[in-house]
Amino acid sequence: MPIDFIANFFHFPQKNTIQKNDVQNVSFKRNESNDTFVKTINVGEKTSSAYDGISVTEKNFGKLTKDEATAKLYTITNKNGASVSFSDFGATIVSIKIPDKNGKLIDVTQGYDNVTPYETAPVGHAGGTIGPCANKINGGKFVINNEEYELEKNKDNGQTHCHGGTNGFDVKLWNTQILPDGIEFSYKKADMESGYPGNVDIKVTYKFDNDNNLRIMYSASSDKDTLLNLTNHTYFNLDGEENAQENSVLEHIVKLPNSSKITENNEMAIPTGRYIDVKGTPFDFRNPHKIKESINNSNEQLKIGSGYDQNYCVDNYDGKSLIEVAEVKSEKTGIKLNVYTNLPGFQFYTANHLGKTAQPGGKSGLRYEKRSAICVEPQIFPNAINTDNFEEKGILKKGETYNREIVYSFASK
């Protein structure tokens, strides 16, 4: 039997709500190939013209082994046929399909065809919403208001905490609301869940428009001072996700136009608090060049990360303005990705640790190998809470609101 199917019966979960005044029509149809239901929502007049004609579909994405809850897959398709798919498990980006220079749709993100690999073999956090705190925390400890909090140490042989631990936001089932122009995922983190203080209400809103701009908007509030640093961990290969072989991303042309400095790492890839000027180093992408031209240079920081795995600092950061931090191009497909954010830094990562035996096959059936993708993960600096020289600590105070944004913008020629 197919997943979560009962003949002649469709239960629309209460958590998925549609405001009727915001849509032109809602239609349901059965997909005969897999006995799942697809719901199509066409947006109405209340939305911006940038979202005119988009549709949202929903279908089953598989059952979770933990509690047999059913995960859902939501797809926003714009009027030009480009689409982005998300799962409520982890508020995860599952696929992004963009037309190449010849008009052929290319899936440019690594991921899986159902929820099981995301739950049982979450190697690399593919596409997930990372939190409560992205990147590493040295010793798995931090202090807020003179109180020390100790976290799971899930990295570096039990020496560091990373990406919220093994019970982070990317392995939670989020609530979903379909908006007139996007999808909103929400999650309520309980006080001391995963070791972090505060009952925290988090929302991640995805909007995908007719110009192929994917906006990711984070908002959160807490009833206690807490640590919060959210990002997205999508793996991109602009040649297509089926290019899973080792080093397949090295032909990509990268420009990091507004980063004149990186943070120096120690031997565990934790910032020391010192900055490195990128001029004259392999980390200088202010002028575009292919990744292969510098990734194998003799450089201690590259050796620590086994390639690019570095926090870049954003020049002229003010916490409000959206600043372009990356431009990535594929000569093969003509697809270009531009990344914008109002966060102070971003992790530029060339997937140096993929290819592990525990890793299942991806959407194309192939295992994603080392250096088969890149990540651009806007963030507050790693371990900022424990680093005197980093001004912004990632503390969300009681009564304040966390508001940050990431934009992935696509074009092809």
Q: For the chain, give the percent of residues with pLDDT over 70.
A: 89
Work out the pLDDT band at 380, boundaries 50, 70, 90: very high
The pTM of the full predicted model, rounded to 2 decimals, is 0.90
C-alpha 220: how far from chain center: 17
116-164 per-position pLDDT tens digit: 999 988 778 999 999 999 999 999 999 999 999 999 999 989 999 999 9
- Please give the structure tokens belonging to residue 330: 């594929």
Give the H/E segment covering residue 119. helix 116-120
Asked whether residue 46 is assigned to any structural domain, the reply reads no
pLDDT at 40: 62
Given a cut of 50, is residue 26 above it in pLDDT? no
Residue 22 lies in a domain: no
Is the confidence at residue 25, as pLDDT, over 50? no
Cα–Cα distance for residue pair 288/217, rounded to 1 Å? 28
Query: Measuring CA to CA, which residue among 246, 361, 381 is closest to residue 312?
Result: 381
Q: Is residue 40 part of a domain?
A: no
Q: Which two tokens stand for residue 93?
A: 């980006």
Q: Which active-site residues does the annotation give?
A: 233, 377
Spacing of C-alpha 404 from chain mean position: 13
CA atoms of 244 and 359, how far apart (whole Å): 12
pLDDT reading at 32 higher than 70? no
The string of pLDDT tens digits covering residues 57-108 is 999 999 999 888 999 999 999 999 999 999 999 999 999 999 999 999 999 9
In a domain? residue 380:
yes
Tens of pLDDT along 327-377? 999 999 999 999 999 999 999 999 999 998 888 999 999 999 999 999 999
Q: Is residue 367 part of a domain?
A: yes
Strands (E), 358-401: 375-379, 395-396
Residue 411 CA neighbour count, 13 Å, CB half = 6
Determine the structural domain holding residue 264 and report its residue range.
Answer: 123-412
The answer to whether 40 and 55 are in contact (CB under 8 A) is yes
Is 20 inside a domain boundary?
A: no
pLDDT at residue 27 is higher than 80:
no
Lowest mean pLDDT among 45-49, 54-58, 203-207, 319-323: 45-49
Q: Residue 80 class from Cβ within 10 Å (0-12 exposed, 13-18 middle, 19+ buried)?
A: middle
Predicted local confidence at residue 42, as pLDDT? 60
Query: In this structure, what CATH number is given to the domain that contains residue 310?
Result: 2.70.98.10
- Mean pLDDT across the chain, nearest whole number? 90
Assess if residue 53 is contained within a domain: no
SS (HEC) of 124-183: HHCCCEECCECCEEECCEEEECCEEEECCCCECCCCEEECCCCCCHHHCECEEEEECCEE
Query: Per the structure, how many domains does the chain have?
Result: 1
Give Cα separations from 143 to 146, 224, 270, 367 (angstroms).
6, 13, 18, 40
Sheet of 323-329, strands arranged across: 175-179, 182-189, 200-208, 213-222, 402-412, 335-341, 323-329, 253-255, 289-290
- Rounded to whole angstroms, what are the CA distances from 120 to 66, 77, 136, 215, 385? 10, 29, 22, 28, 31
Q: With respect to residue 73, please indicate whether it lies within any of the assigned structural domains.
A: no
Measured between alpha carbons, how far is 411 from 413 in angstroms, rounded to an integer? 7
